[in-house]
A and B are shown apart, each in its own frame.
Chain A
Amino acid sequence: MNISNKIIGVAVAGVMLLAGSSLLAAQDFVKNTEAGKNGVTKFVLRSGATVLAKEIPNGLVSFQVWYRTGSRDEQDNNNGISHFIEHLIFKGSAASGVSGLSRLIEGRGGNLNGATSKDFTNFHFETAKEYFYVSLDGMMDCLSHPAFDAGEIEKERKVVIEEIVRGDDDPGRKLYEELFKLSYSGHPYRREVIGTKDVLEKLTRAEITAYYKAKYSPDRMIIAVAGDFKFAELLPALEKHFPPEEGKPLTEGLRMKASFTPGREELSGSYGQGYYGSAWLGPAADNADTYAMDLLVTLLGSGRSSRLYSRLKEKEQLCYALDTGYSTMRDEGLIYVTAELLPDNRGMFDKRLLEELKEICSNGVDAKDFARALAILENSYIFSHETDSQIAGDLGYNEAIISYKFGQDYLDNVRKVNAADLKRVAVKYLSGVPASVCLIPAGK
């Protein structure tokens, strides 16, 4: 295809034009620069977009675009539109044509994908440094000028419905979505990211275009880049993809207080075993309790010697698999315990889980368990910051949720937590009645 040639042409022209005046141009284009830790620099662009970048001379580049919008910003009548838009971006711009972007990036050995969640929509590629700018131009072109071709919308609508159908068969996903649905009565986190078939079948091109214009604006955009590039080349390469006029910083919908509804639900279906989950409302990302909560869920369920795993799974054998988690989100996320078990054991598991949590609320945690949880959390942080995409992902995700500094200061803040803090957050967040869901095989 000649699309790629066209894009290369634009990139070359851009670099040449800016060669003599890059400083001046960059000053106009960049409103504010901030030096973060560990070689990270934050640029706030005139348009309102944020760029977080870190040079790592390793031959590869990870480029990620995070929009501060997801199903959290939707309504019942357009639920699923963010995820649908994510799919449609890959259908290309007027210039690239269908599949142009994937051919451009994959044909040069890179990979690309997107993801939509409650708080964000994400687009990303990783590639060899030689193809970084041509890939950047391709992705930015699709994001700035999506075609939203009427015929392609119809075809992709079918693909997304396939994705919904596929998800319905996945008990892990189903459990998670049911826990959110039950827990959040008056907050948009209750809606599924993927949306509903009914809504998707009706969404029009006009609605999609208007929603894109409203929610995918530069003020909601975060670009995170890690790898083998130079700041001095990155900014001019980005500049041509942004409107010249000054944008406003994002002010709407920054924080919505979540309300929680405890409850209990059992759903039967074509499952091979039982899937149990209980959830409580946790601290939001802007709450300093998040660090103690991360340690507490690690202490409870990470590793064979963790509190719940060693007692409920290893010793009492009430389940086959057990996991604990806490979603750090823009608004109050969920703390959860999930298990795979024999349906007959669900009552006993539930009882014992609540007893264990009660004991921690009364007696706190012991020093050895605390030290182990800290070591596990520290190491998992190190092991999850090994690649360019992990590093860029950490910057982009945290900035989309609260601030990139959250990740930069994370280990320092975790290390300030003490054992007494764990008891305190257990009492504060885990002493109430949870929202519990159990998926059980039909007839059990």
Chain B
Amino acid sequence: MKKILLAFIVLSALLSLSSAAAQPFSLSNGLKVVLNPDKTSGIIALQVFVRAGSAWETPADSGTASLAIRMITRGTKTRTAEELAAASEGLGVSISAASGEDHSIISLVCTAKTFPEASAILFDMLLNPVFPESELSKLKKVAISRLKAEKDDNFSYTLQRLKSQMFRGDSYGLNPLGTEENISAATSAKMADFYTKNFKAGNICVSVSGSFDNSEMFSSLEKGLSGIPSGGGARKLQSTIEAVTENYGSDKMKKNQAVVMTGFFAPELASADYAALKVLSSVLGGGMSSKLFSSLREKEGLAYSIGTIYPSRAKACAFIFYAGTRKENIERIKQGILEAAASAGKPGYITEKELEDAKNLLVGQFRLDHQTNEDRARYLGWFELNGAGFGYDAAYPETVKAVTLEAVSKAAVKYLVQPKTFVLDNE
């Protein structure tokens, strides 16, 4: 048994470097499926991407997706939450559900051997959820505790505060966990409404990576998921960023560390400027050789964690500089970040060599981030559902390599304007 299992492991890596073999299919109800077989790993990772998350919510119903998607795993017409957990965990697998901004994901990772049984449990959850009040009442308490615990994570807390400041009036400003008021008001009926509204074939993409044969996997998905109603899919997220928002905000808390974050409005994943900004983020704040790391950490010793984030989003989002520091260094960090942002587009600030290194880093990290079947399924579904198409996964390395210094400088000049800063200060 063990030898066979380990043989799987050796071979699994053979095809691990790309998802170039991925192919799209449509189930009879129109549900999009992307299959990426490697046939040798012995593992199957299946991810159900649903176009639902806080970006689709309003202040009055924020947090609904987060609760509802978790409730999917908490009871079906024929099984209780306890029975569902016992069934999947008895196979040694877990089915997890989580929601973010643009989408929610229900994820299954199992061995090829357990896939028939494990996927049957997943399909039951996806088709027959009943949202029991008793389970909802438990999850509501957990959700409220999560909201309170956000204050215990300086980085997430500051990021959420910056986003709510930058995206006032836009759904990206909402907390994906919702508000205490919204969570308390959630009912089983609201969860069921969410399900009826969002679980339509056109709002869902299922990506699968691992040891299977395409035709067998297709039949299995057709059998399991064709019962999801057709429709949906026409929706697109609208950006409603207010032209004037506050440029500066801060909170004082009893903490040892201070956090500085400065954000700029930046375009969505499907934008022509996306790749250039990814490269810019790599130059300025990617890895240990980035400009911010070497100036503010290596040379001045001002921060331990420092860098930039530019997430891949379905609508206009933010390019963010961050640094964890101490009260006495806040001003110097703020100034250092603004200097880097203001200089980024100037001739000579980024050299050809730095650009080349940053592109290599970006492509290299991308490859290294595709080593497990779960990673590969996640990238395919993410790109497919959020506007770039699953094929972007295979095209990404070449797209990044083609980015020129001129394009990066232009993107810096165009987007790194009107900085918005939020500081978590110490009392």
Measuring CB to CB, which residues of chain A are less than 8 angstroms from any residue of chain B?
37-39, 56-60, 90-91, 98-99, 102-103, 106-112, 126-128, 154-160, 162-163, 165-166, 168-171, 227, 269-273, 303-306, 310, 314, 317, 320-321, 340, 342, 368, 371-372, 374-380, 382-383, 385-389, 391, 411-412, 442
Contacts and interface: CB of A to CB of B under 8 A. Distances in A.
7 contacts: A38-B10, A102-B288, A109-B362, A126-B368, A306-B89, A380-B92, A382-B111
Interface in B341-380: 356-357, 360-365, 367-368, 371-373
In the A-B complex, the 4 residue pairs with the closest CB atoms = A109-B364, A375-B92, A158-B301, A107-B357
Interface stretch (B25-33, B185-193, B215-223, B253-261): B253-261
Contacts of B9: 382, 385-386, 391
B360 A109 contact: yes
Contacts of A383: 43, 109, 372
A60 B17 contact: yes
Contacts of B301: 154-159, 162
A38 B6 contact: yes
B85 interface: yes
Given A56-B13, A106-B287, A273 B92 contact: no
A386 B372 contact: yes
Interface string B25-64: 0000000000000000111000000000000000000000
Contacts of A371: 90
A158 B302 contact: yes
A103 B361 CA distance: 10
Contacts of A156: 301
A386 B41 contact: yes
Interface string B281-306: 00000111100001001111111110
Interface stretch (B150-158, B264-272, B388-396): B150-158
A58 B13 contact: yes
A170 B362 CA distance: 30
B294 A379 contact: no
B288 A99 contact: yes
Contact of B82 (A59, A305, A388, A389): A305
A162 B371 contact: no
Interface residues of B, number: 77
Interface stretch (B137-145, B161-169, B229-237, B414-422): B137-145
A17 B288 CA distance: 34
A342 B145 CA distance: 8
Contact of A379 (B6, B85, B92, B146): B92
Contact of B357 (A106, A314, A368): A106
A127 B364 contact: yes
B256 A388 contact: no
A310 B289 contact: no
A109 B367 contact: yes
Contact of B10 (A56, A91, A171, A379): A56
B398 to A, nearest CB: 14
Contacts of B324: 162, 166
Contacts of B386: none
Contacts of B82: 304-305, 310, 314
Given A39-B10, A155-B298, A162-B324, A109 B138 contact: no
Given A57-B14, A166-B304, A166-B324, A109 B288 contact: no
B86 interface: yes
A67 to B, nearest CB: 20
A382 B43 contact: yes
Given A111-B287, A112-B288, A372-B90, A99 B364 contact: no
Interface in B221-258: 253-257
Contacts of B365: 109, 111
Given A166-B257, A368-B90, 8 more contacts: A60-B16, A60-B368, A107-B360, A162-B257, A304-B81, A383-B43, A383-B372, A386-B43
Interface string B69-97: 00000000000011001100111111000
B80 to A, nearest CB: 11
Nearest to A342: B145
Contact of A376 (B2, B10, B89, B287): B89
